[in-house]
Structure 1
Amino acid sequence: MKPLFSELYKDGMSHIISTRLSNAYLIGEIFGMLCFGFVIDKIGRRTGIMFATLFLVLGIIIATAAHGETQLGMFWMMIVGRGVAGFGAGGEYPTCGTGSAEASDETAYVRRRRGILVAMSTDFAIDLGFVVAGVVALIVLAAYDERVSAGVWRISFGLGFVLPVTLFFFRIRMINSTQYRKHAIKQRIPYWLAIKRYWKPMLGTSLAWFFYDFVTYPFGLFSSTIIGQLNPNNTLTQNIGLGTAVNCFYLPGCIVGGLLMDRIGRKQTMTLGFFLWAILGFIIGGALKPIQSILGLFIVLYGIFNSLGEMGPGVATFLCGAESFPTPLRGHFLGFAAAVGKAGSAIGTQVFTPIQSSFADVEKGTQAVFLIGAGFAAVGGIVSWFLIPDRESDLESEDEKFRRYLEENGYEGAFGESLVEEVKSTTFRLDR
């Protein structure tokens, strides 16, 4: 909706407000990831995902109904709503990341295909949301005969209410995974012992996620802006449509990356994706002038650039974050790594416009962004290769090793859900 806001609210829509609209959601996500990462390890995956959905719906309602005495006041109300929605969406990361990984551990047949299954239920779903958001905006614009109107963005935002509300009725019937019911630690969590054992994968997954989000989120969020700058004569519909077309390239990258994770390994796929991403970024940045003179060529290369990011770190961050840590603290560590990643996306979104604006020539500003992004991608590849472990795909093995490690270091806490909770869970499954 940013291109529409720029036309509709010339007095209130500035570079600062534009950045804050993006960062409000991202900062909300950071708090949601940290909070829900803690909650789902303490009180369960099912409870966490239900509350995450409720916050998401509340934020959508506030943003859709945003009003103010001035345009600036309306945007601040929208920023608040997006922050609340971001808090709920942030909760989706640890809940869905842990839930999908643990659900795929139930049988050996499914476990062998965990890479593609987790890729489809996490990163592919996120990227499909980017594409559908653009398609929805185009449909709503068509319904308004391409007239710039407040109804376009309010309807587009409001339609986001439908899916989470629908999913809530399915999520309320979920149960906690077998791994969680068996290995959960709800009291006296041994944080220091866990950090001593898992500091290296925690550092690796967090930094890899940071570098990935620092590069991919600004490029994804500003795809319509970039294309609009390279083609200043395009209409609003054309800019949104071309941006959506570019976002479609995310999807095959997720599928290829999911298949590669099952074939060559998680960290191997992440490292390969980072380096291919960096190489293409340097090529586009170095030869931007001849490339951007042919719009079709630029869109294809830009789309492949985004696809390579999803093929490697995009899909592997979730699974590496889930498999590198034991079940009792999987939510904590995965939520923390995702939060560090979102900090990277907030920083990347914040610096994207100033970097472009610091150059008098738009082409040179876009070129600088590509080259900087490629450099960060290369560093991400180095981090993922040296700091992320090549873990066994069997979650139970790591859980048993962690339990023995705690016992050897004198830990005497209880594992698993209480007897009452186990009975309730069993009864609920029988009722279903």
Structure 2
Amino acid sequence: MAHLLSHHRHHDPEIAQVPVPHGPATGSEHDEYPDAGTYTAADEANIFAYLTHPDDSYTADDHTYWADLPLAARARFVHAVDAAESKKELRAVGAMARKDPLAPVGWYFRHAVLPGAGLLLEGYVLFSIGNLEPLFKLAWPECWGGQEGGVCSRNWIASVTYLEVIGIMVGQQLVGIIGDWIGRRWGLIQDASIMLLGLLMLTASWGVNLQGWVICYAWSLFVYGFGVGGEYPMTATSSMENAVGAGRLSSRDDRLHRGRKVTMAFLMQGWGQFINQVLLILMLLIFNHGQGDPPYGLAAVQWTFRLSFAFPAVGTLWLVYYRVYKMPYASRQLQLAKSKNKVTGYDRHSLRMTLHHFGGRLFASAAGWFCNDVFFYGNKLFQGQFIGVISSNPKSVMVTWLWSLCNILVSLAGYYTASFLIDNRLYGRKMMQQVGFLVCFITFVIPAFRFKYYTSPEGIHSFQAMYFLSSFFNQFGPNAVTFLVAAEIFPTPVRASAHGFSACIGKSGALLASVLYNYIDNQTKFYVVPWFGLAGMLITFIWLPDTTGLDLKEQERRWDYIRNGRAEEYHGVAVHPAHLSWWERMRGVGKQYDAKLDLKAKIEDLRRDWEDAQEARREEKRRGEEGLAYHDDEFSDEVHGYFQRTSGSPKLKAMEKNRSREEGV
């Protein structure tokens, strides 16, 4: 636009008189500004600077993107931005606390606990299932002991785990598609409703004999697992899109804190595990007359396990209410994307384009999640072996639960560390996942080749250290990152489907581990597991892009170009080499990055957005209702004035069209 104005200013009197606004854009679209001058390239740069070169991503002097800076300058710039942001947040927290000491707690509840409530409840329940199994084995050894000739089929006992995992996998993929087809809000309500049904079935599970109860229990887990599976893509996509905000324009909060907002919801899963473990310990002590060691009375076991499911059922009932009545705009971003592309139902065209352009990303998110789930399940190997050596009473369920509680606390530390560092542009998502996989590989491969030593009293403390390190770096690494990037690196129309597919493939890693571990001994398990960490690290390095610090709206802007068959015309930071995977760079995607060309195109894209907003606003007024359209108050008064005047010139429009044809912009 600056080139166009400067080139034609002295040759066309109409363009030469285009005024520069100096005040609010009030009144009609063609108000006059008596004191206005004429537009220059510097005027245009100043008008759009807050949109095209925000100070958290570009240097103030020469508008250089942070990823284009030399390493030392980049570190100084990132540290300066982060320090200023931290001070601003601390001042905001202090101001809240001065007005109301509990205000920061309320803020955390609204922005972390509520978005992650579904994951908190599912973390509670799924962890409860694993905790209850050793209790069942001691209470009903003739059924859960796994002996040949027992009263319960060994296949049905194994199916308790299999059906749970399969239910989760089906829910992840199916509800992911539903979330992109019908909407995020519908998916969230459906998930909570199915989880409530599953919890009621688990609480009331019964049978005329133990075998019948096991079958009822297994199918109840399948139903609950289906709801849990859908919770993954729905929570990730809704948290992601709520973090971005409702407008078309990018935001500082999105660039600097998007990852933190999503992982703050995700880490509620860890709190669910913690709450479950504490309640199980308390209930067993209460109902078993203060005794934590066996024998355990059958009545105590019945009360403990049934109440462990009844408590989250109450919380899930509230979750259904909250999602029905308090989340009316959960599908807003998806509906806007569909409206923009005139799509009803499922956007199959976007799915085809995603597979073509982002196939490597889909492989990275799915395969990385698969490798992580093998490790996540494999961490239990450490726990069992460690307790067997260090404890004087390893058969006590209470001893197992107490050590498990310690491991949960270590995991929570990993969750929070991930949340604090996942948006740091000098470390970020990709590095965090690679380091996490590497540490998990090391902590498993060392005891694999000296298994007898590390599981003996002499080496048990080193074994314990590796046990806790694997827990910490699994959360401060692939477990948090896979959940985030599986939603972040894909466009809005298929975001839930891609996340659901990645999570489904990931959960097949847990299924593989649960089946495989039934047929190999403990040392062989340690031989097998480490290589998934090495594979995960390599997959991350080759195929996963690094979206740390990248504006999600800029990714959506690139997607508009791709969807409209103009992928090569996009030159913005979404194809900056720093934000692409090694695989994408080898395919030449990053070669089209050009900051100068992108600046011109971005202003024209903003113009189209502004014109669309004006048209939508007029349509809303005509209908006398508030629709989904964004109002134009996102733009500053100066941008309003600029677009009002330059859009009002037929000659200017014709010249812009000719220039676009000549230059291919």
Q: TM-score range by the shorter chain?
A: 0.7 to 0.9
2:209 is the counterpart of 1:78? no
Decide whether aligned partners of structure 1 residues 228 and 158 sit closer, same or farther in structure 2, where only a CA change above 3 A counts.
Answer: farther
Match of 1:183 among 329, 333, 337: 337
CA contact (8 A) 1:114 1:262 kept: yes
Shift of 1:128: 2.2
Decide whether aligned partners of structure 1 residues 370 and 257 sit closer, same or farther in structure 2, where only a CA change above 3 A counts.
Answer: farther
Shift of 1:85: 0.4
The residue aligned with 2:268 is 125
- Of 334-343 and 3-12, deviating more is 3-12
CA distance in 2, matches of 1:17, 1:247: 29
The residue aligned with 2:364 is 204
1:393 aligned counterpart, secondary structure: coil
CA distance in 1, matches of 2:411, 2:430: 20
1:141-185 Cα offsets, whole Å, 9 max, x none, are 011124342222111122221222222222221122553232135
CA distance in 2, matches of 1:6, 1:92: 30
The residue aligned with 1:376 is 532
1:308-337 Cα offsets, whole Å, 9 max, x none, are 111111110011111110011101101100
Shift of 1:261: 1.9
Decide whether aligned partners of structure 1 residues 396 and 110 sit closer, same or farther in structure 2, where only a CA change above 3 A counts.
Answer: closer
Amino acid at match of 1:217: Y
Decide whether aligned partners of structure 1 residues 409 and 110 sit closer, same or farther in structure 2, where only a CA change above 3 A counts.
Answer: closer
Decide whether aligned partners of structure 1 residues 228 and 71 sit closer, same or farther in structure 2, where only a CA change above 3 A counts.
Answer: farther
> Where in structure 2 are there 5+ consecutive unaligned residues?
1-131, 147-153, 246-250, 568-611, 630-665
Match of 2:443 among 251, 270, 280: 280
- Which of the two has greater helix per residue? 1
CA distance in 2, matches of 1:253, 1:289: 29
CA contact (8 A) 2:375 2:440 kept: no
Decide whether aligned partners of structure 1 residues 91 and 328 sit closer, same or farther in structure 2, where only a CA change above 3 A counts.
Answer: same
Map of 1:21-170 to 2, 5 A cutoff? 21-106=160-245, 107-122=251-266, 124-144=267-287, 145=289, 146=291, 147-148=296-297, 149-170=301-322
1:222-260 Cα offsets, whole Å, 9 max, x none, are 676445544472322112221222232211111222233
Amino acid at match of 1:241: L
Decide whether aligned partners of structure 1 residues 373 and 252 sit closer, same or farther in structure 2, where only a CA change above 3 A counts.
Answer: same
| Percentage of identical aligned residues | 23
- Of 186-195 and 137-146, deviating more is 186-195
1:390 aligned counterpart, secondary structure: coil
Decide whether aligned partners of structure 1 residues 224 and 137 sit closer, same or farther in structure 2, where only a CA change above 3 A counts.
Answer: farther
Count of aligned positions: 410
CA distance in 1, matches of 2:276, 2:461: 22
1:11 aligned counterpart, secondary structure: helix
CA distance in 2, matches of 1:203, 1:232: 46
1:166-217 Cα offsets, whole Å, 9 max, x none, are 2222222112255323213543521322211111100110000001012212
2:267 is the counterpart of 1:267? no
CA distance in 1, matches of 2:133, 2:382: 11
Map of 1:293-332 to 2, 5 A cutoff? 293-294=456-457, 298-332=463-497
Shift of 1:219: 2.8
1:248 aligned counterpart, secondary structure: helix
1:387-416 Cα offsets, whole Å, 9 max, x none, are 111236322112222222121279xxxx9x
Amino acid at match of 2:550: S
CA contact (8 A) 1:116 1:255 kept: no
Amino acid at match of 1:30: M
CA contact (8 A) 2:333 2:492 kept: yes
CA distance in 1, matches of 2:244, 2:480: 18
Decide whether aligned partners of structure 1 residues 130 and 226 sit closer, same or farther in structure 2, where only a CA change above 3 A counts.
Answer: farther
Shift of 1:269: 1.1
CA contact (8 A) 2:383 2:404 kept: yes
Match of 2:514 among 344, 349, 355: 349
Amino acid at match of 1:167: L
The residue aligned with 1:430 is none
CA contact (8 A) 1:33 1:87 kept: yes
Amino acid at match of 2:513: G
CA distance in 2, matches of 1:208, 1:33: 16
The TM-score with structure 1 as length reference comes to 0.87
Amino acid at match of 1:29: I
CA distance in 1, matches of 2:397, 2:353: 55
1:12 aligned counterpart, secondary structure: helix
1:263-313 Cα offsets, whole Å, 9 max, x none, are 112122111110111111112333443433455654443122111111111
Higher relative contact order (CA 8 A, sep 6+): 1
Amino acid at match of 1:326: P
- Of 333-342 and 166-175, deviating more is 166-175
CA contact (8 A) 2:254 2:551 kept: no
> Where in structure 1 are there 5+ consecutive unaligned residues?
357-364, 427-432
Decide whether aligned partners of structure 1 residues 227 and 73 sit closer, same or farther in structure 2, where only a CA change above 3 A counts.
Answer: farther
CA distance in 2, matches of 1:152, 1:374: 36
Match of 1:5 among 136, 139, 144: 136
Decide whether aligned partners of structure 1 residues 168 and 21 sit closer, same or farther in structure 2, where only a CA change above 3 A counts.
Answer: same
CA contact (8 A) 2:232 2:503 kept: yes
CA distance in 1, matches of 2:283, 2:366: 38
2:348 aligned counterpart, secondary structure: coil
Decide whether aligned partners of structure 1 residues 247 and 288 sit closer, same or farther in structure 2, where only a CA change above 3 A counts.
Answer: farther
1:233 aligned counterpart, secondary structure: coil
CA distance in 1, matches of 2:476, 2:553: 27
Shift of 1:101: 1.3
2:560 is the counterpart of 1:403? yes
Amino acid at match of 1:60: L
CA contact (8 A) 1:59 1:81 kept: yes
1:355 aligned counterpart, secondary structure: coil
Decide whether aligned partners of structure 1 residues 170 and 300 sit closer, same or farther in structure 2, where only a CA change above 3 A counts.
Answer: farther
RMSD of aligned alpha carbons: 2.7
- Of 128-137 and 93-102, deviating more is 128-137
CA contact (8 A) 1:3 1:225 kept: no
The residue aligned with 2:21 is none
Shift of 1:90: 0.5
CA contact (8 A) 1:227 1:243 kept: no
Decide whether aligned partners of structure 1 residues 20 and 3 sit closer, same or farther in structure 2, where only a CA change above 3 A counts.
Answer: same
Decide whether aligned partners of structure 1 residues 395 and 320 sit closer, same or farther in structure 2, where only a CA change above 3 A counts.
Answer: same
- Of 33-42 and 368-377, deviating more is 368-377
The residue aligned with 1:214 is 374
